[in-house]
Structure 1
């Protein structure tokens, strides 16, 4: 599993970034707050995958 992640890290992050971008677009285009929460959840997941936690995290 670790080898797979190490060998395909670029692909995994590309897919994750695409999911976040798509979810953000849907959240921006629709008026309901429920989809905004989904986009926020995906963004937080991507932050964790990118190790943007603790002191490495920027305030937003």
Structure 2
């Protein structure tokens, strides 16, 4: 536990860097497989950050150019 407290800033940089790279890969590639990976990483980070219930970001509003269902 002391190691985590001592190296907290390094761990935070590593985690945010990994998520940034994974998000960039998911945005640049059209395959849904990497999108699922980024989604899984995000769910893990949200769980670690205790983002539950109303603390989660709201989903984006539907696009005006999207065809009606």
* TMscore range, shorter length: 0.7 to 0.9
Give the number of the structure with larger relative contact order, counting CA–CA contacts within 8 Å between residues 6 or more apart.
1
Q: CA RMSD in A?
A: 1.7
Taking structure 1 as the reference length, the TM-score comes to 0.79
Based on CA coordinates, which of the two structures has the bigger radius of gyration?
2
Give 1:41 shift.
Answer: 1.3
Aligned mates of 2:54, 2:11 — CA distance in 1: 21
* Structure 1 counterpart of 2:7: 8
Q: Which has the higher helix share?
A: 1
Taking structure 2 as the reference length, the TM-score comes to 0.71
Q: Which sections of structure 1, spanning at least 5 residues, go unmatched?
A: none
Contact 1:17 1:46 in 2 (8 A): no
Q: Which sections of structure 2, spanning at least 5 residues, go unmatched?
A: 59-69
Q: Which range moved further: 28-37 or 40-49?
A: 40-49
Give the 4+ runs in structure 1 shifted more than 3 A.
Answer: none
Counting matched residue pairs gives 58
